[in-house]
A and B are shown apart, each in its own frame.
Chain A
């Protein structure tokens, strides 16, 4: 996918170009607000990674200007200001996701993938399915291999999120933000505990495992 990186710090920019390039993306760059806005309004990229603090025109203004032209390209905002307020204001101004610096690269690529996917395929399906795992969003039931699986509401939400991002890595932070609606990291192993329980219900007793742990970064739901 074509990604526009608007970032003023040369080291950070280089890091993003290298990493995203290695992940198979084409990367364009801009070093300040006005030139970033120029490139963004051309409209030939699939995703924009936008730093919050930029010389010339700050990230929020770029975002507002961009959304003002009717552009809906997904925007992932990066910022050293990781606070809840900044996150909320970034999202309110039209960012699709917000990531605080410093971040791990896995976190960034996972979010990039998730955003791209969301953009491509706005699902209003009433069922989600992967292999023999089926989730009925209306009846709130889950089945694997035609056996009903008893899920707690939270486990249901967790599984739904994993299914919507099937095949992609989802990180611990993405789960906290999207399943628990948390804007901070509770220092407990809340994600691990829930995942291991979900795993016990989904994978235990079946020959193929669907939930896989990605070492050091998160989880992925996929067929082996």
Chain B
């Protein structure tokens, strides 16, 4: 079976969905971005902690050294008068042998003396400390290589406006600090790349699952109802959705199959009487004298087609499930009483014993009374048709905790077990009954009525046909309605 439409090969909109438009991808990416940010926080935190531990001490030492040197300044001198020149005099003497790194500026910013390169970009900064190159002589080795090449210094503004840049050799630490910097850089970069890659792969994976869904849906939309989504078997969301969609597709395919069967049946079972009708009309044309009998036969034929149409429409309407608004709480015995009004004499007329078990208790049911009467009528109608004269038909009701059980039995030929499933199909008729009057829709309608009421119907053979219908009992039965 194929419902292929002409545009089946054309790419459909859903398969061309953009990667980033997928909410799965966005969610995966966002959560991985959040994780990476958290990770970056940890890396930076560790870096800062280590740096503090390492450089913090040296910074304290530098500050202490500066404090100590400045505290030696004789306080009796006026504050503005020459702390810079005082320092200059001291340092000028010391500088050749000074173990510390120093640069001194006067209040105009003029360099007074230095053993460091006070310009140039520092390689490393820590709080208000920075590295700078050492160019003094104290640490110069015999071969001219400097043992000290880098200092960590800080600036101190002096009371007379001068500025002291002071620090200590830093080479031993600089290597470690460089390592730390490297660690931070690569740590952030690697985790970023790695998490991005994982997020991308995971997204791709979930997207692949989703894409399988889109693709199957597209193919179904294009008309191929046989398509099913492969179940990967890892019991994840996608598998669940896929299972649900597959189930839905099974149902739809079943319905379509039903529609196809019905249209085939209509083609066959309604065309035949229409063809007969046409033939009869042509025949009428050819007789010169008007024959009321012939016209009656034509009308009867038309009525037959109409009643099949009505039954079909009714079944279709039932299957749409629009009838529930007519549901009421009622006692099923009422339906039996009405059925008895219709059929008692009809059966008597054919010399069939018709027995209705007298109601022993109420049979509360929630549903459409008219529909049930029609269903019971259809069953009795069949019983009437197939039970020979002198036979018996019985109608009974029983109830238990869950169900009201309706039982219709006749003493006709019954239905072969192999046919039990088929007789509920529309227009289905046992071959030997094809010649009988009828639409072949009676049991289909009964089945549709059962479905609307979530009732279960089954057939059995005893001395004739037994039809059993189990209707869910009305648990919220209001005081039984008395008609």
Residues of A within 8 A of B (CB): 82-85, 102, 104, 154, 180-190, 193-194, 196-197, 215-216
Contacts and interface: CB of A to CB of B under 8 A. Distances in A.
Contact of A180 (B342, B349, B438): B342
B307 interface: yes
B320 to A, nearest CB: 12
A84 B313 CA distance: 12
A188 B343 contact: yes
A197 B370 CA distance: 26
Interface in B47-103: none
A115 to B, nearest CB: 23
Nearest to A186: B377
Interface string B316-333: 010000010010000000
A201 B373 CA distance: 29
B179 to A, nearest CB: 86
A104 B302 CA distance: 11
B346 A190 contact: yes
Interface of B: 292, 296, 299, 306-307, 310, 313-314, 317, 323, 326, 338, 341-343, 345-346, 349, 370, 373-374, 377, 380-381, 384, 437-438, 442
A197 B345 contact: yes
A198 B79 CA distance: 140
Nearest to A157: B341
Contacts of B377: 184, 186
Given A102-B306, A182-B342, A186-B381, 15 more contacts: A83-B314, A85-B323, A104-B299, A154-B341, A154-B345, A180-B341, A185-B307, A186-B377, A187-B381, A188-B381, A193-B349, A196-B349, A197-B345, A215-B292, A216-B299
Interface of A is mostly: loop
A85 B346 CA distance: 28
Contacts of B338: 180-181
A184 B346 contact: no
B346 A189 contact: yes
15 contacts: A83-B314, A85-B326, A180-B342, A184-B370, A184-B374, A184-B377, A186-B377, A187-B438, A187-B442, A190-B343, A193-B345, A193-B349, A197-B345, A197-B349, A216-B296
A215 B299 CA distance: 13
Contact of A83 (B292, B306, B317, B381): B317
Contacts of B349: 189, 193, 196-197
Contacts of A194: 345
Contacts of B314: 83
